[in-house]
Amino acid sequence: MKRKLWSILSVTLLAGSLLTGCGGAKQDSAAPAAPTPSTEPPVAEVKMESELIVAGNGATVETLMKDKIFKLFNEKYPDVKLTYVSGVSTDIVAKVKGQQASPQIDVAIIEGGEQEKGRQEGLWEPLTADMIPNLSRVPSDLAMTENSGVTVNFTPMGISYNSKVVQEKGLPVPTSWNDLARPELKGNITITDVKSNFGRSALIMLSYANGGSEKDMEPGFKQMETIAGYIPTFAKSAAQLQQDLQSETAAYTTWTMARSLTQKAAGLPLEFVFPQEGGNIVPNVGVMIKGAKHPEAAKEFLNMILTDEVQKLYATDLYYNPATDVELPADVAKTLEFDRSKVVNFDYEAIATSMPAWLDRYDKEISVKIGK
């Protein structure tokens, strides 16, 4: 009887054990399923090219680019070979246009007027903040038409004078664009013609100073006729303007504050005047050439140009106002101050369209008045 009861008990315990085992298996099947693999494609790593060709101004700009800016880029991308092509903005744009079938330049930094001319000819790749994140640091009033480039720095246009010559000859200190047409300045002015940004800006501002604009140039041409009679010839380049001021064959010229301050730092007794009527600013614009052979390196380079470190270099080494709101050393910031409320914003599209007619008129009406 005992043996029979034990057998029944054993069977009961075995059944309970089996039921518990089944229950455990049921709990295990309710465990979370393994994560489903993502169906999104992996983000491809951008491959940096091994070369980058940059074009821009020569002289002090070229020195800064090669000695400091290129080195900063190569610290981050040591395997990228950097080449610099120096030239004035007009020549760079002409070179890019001639190479459209097979671009030999990736990035150029050129003056705003020439940048607009190149935009109209379809030479530049549109830029976005996705391509160049630091583009968002540049204020909208410095934006280029159709995002065809990015302003990397700027400087105001005005009148520079050799203070030593002015004092010795008892000449007036200029305060207005119209002072350039005063009779006592005859024989003491050096100026470029309308082909150069310096001469072109002066012509346009002479129009503004007398009720006109880039769309009404009659007042400017009238004043320039008088000024042409005060000079022996139009200077062919900025280098000639500098030479005339150094040799004291001239006391006055029209060019940028950055150039004036650079020459003053080198020992030339120059003073810069931002005239009472105001003046235009000259933006230096970074562009990526359409069809550039090294686009990834080009984007990275333009992005680096807008970093605080490079923006400060433009200010401390070349006296350009930065395009971003970077904080500058107090003495540099003070040196670069001018009355921004008087900035005249040129319509570069209108200027580029009008240039052929201006050149023709200059040859027929202004050049013939030289020295008369």
Q: Is the domain of 148 the same as that of 160?
A: no
Res 210 pLDDT > 50: yes
| Per-residue pLDDT reduced to its tens digit, 293-347 | 999 999 999 999 999 999 999 999 999 999 999 999 999 999 999 999 999 999 9
In a domain, 39, yes or no: no
DSSP string, 266-333: TT--EEEE--TT-B-EEEEEEEEBTT-S-HHHHHHHHHHHTSHHHHHHHHHHH-PEESS-PPPPHHHH
Residue 372 confidence (pLDDT):
85
Number of domains in the chain: 2
**From the CB of residue 67, how many other CB atoms can be counted at a distance below 10 Å?**
11
Which pLDDT belongs to residue 363?
95
242 and 162 fall within a common domain: yes
pLDDT band for position 102 (cuts 50, 70, 90): very high
CATH number at residue 261: 3.40.190.10
Residues 63 and 77 in one domain: yes
Q: Tell me which residue of 17, 204, 244 sits closest to 112, measured CA to CA.
A: 204
The residue assigned the tokens 């379809």 is 122
Mean pLDDT of 78-92: 96
Distance CA 151, CA 243 (A): 29
Q: Are residues 141 and 180 in the same domain?
A: no
Residue 10 lies in a domain: no
Mean pLDDT across the chain: 90
Indicate whether 30 belongs to any domain: no
Inform me whether the pLDDT recorded for 258 exceeds 70: yes
- Which string of DSSP letters, residue by residue, matches 14-30? HHHHHHHHHHHHHHHHT
Domain that holds residue 57: 51-154+283-341
Compute the average pLDDT of residues 5-18: 38
- Angle (CA) 107-139-146 rounded to 5° is 55
Task: Verify that 173 and 271 share a domain, yes or no.
Answer: yes
pLDDT at 21: 44
The verdict on 174 and 220 lying in the same domain is yes
**pLDDT the model gives residue 10:** 41
Classify residue 19: in a domain, yes or no: no
Does 247 share its domain with 303? no
Q: Is residue 129 part of a domain?
A: yes
User: Of 371 and 254, which is predicted with more confidence?
Assistant: 254
Both 214 and 294 in one domain: the answer is no
Six-digit token string for 340: 């921004």
Rg (CA), the chain: 33
144 and 160: one domain?
A: no
Q: Are residues 136 and 168 in the same domain?
A: no
CA dist., res. 175 & res. 209, Å (int): 12
Residues 217 and 181 in one domain: yes
pLDDT for 45: 58
Q: pLDDT digit string (tens) for 335-352?
A: 999 999 999 999 999 999
Q: What's 191's DSSP letter? A: -
Residue 34 within a domain: no
Pair 221, 189 in one domain: yes
Q: Which residue's structure tokens are 């980058």?
A: 52
Q: For 32-69, what is each residue's pLDDT tens digit?
A: 444 444 444 444 456 899 999 999 999 999 999 999 99
The pTM score is 0.85
- Whether 238 is covered by a domain: the verdict is yes
Calculate the dihedral angle through the C-alpha atoms of 223, 320, 57, 243, rounding to the nearest 10 degrees: 60
Q: What is the pLDDT of residue 128?
A: 97
Return phi, psi of residue 149, to 5°. 180, 180
Question: What are the residues facing 273 on neighbouring strands?
Answer: 159
* DSSP secondary structure of 125-138: ----TTT-GGGGGS
Q: What is the dihedral of CA 181, 363, 193, 161, to 10 degrees?
A: -20
The Cα 75–Cα 345 span in angstroms is: 38
Range 182-201 average pLDDT: 96
User: What's the average model confidence in pLDDT over 84-90?
Assistant: 95
Q: Read out DSSP for 71-99? A: HHHHHH-TT-EEEEEE--HHHHHHHHHHT
The count of other CB atoms within 10 Å of the CB of residue 90 is 16
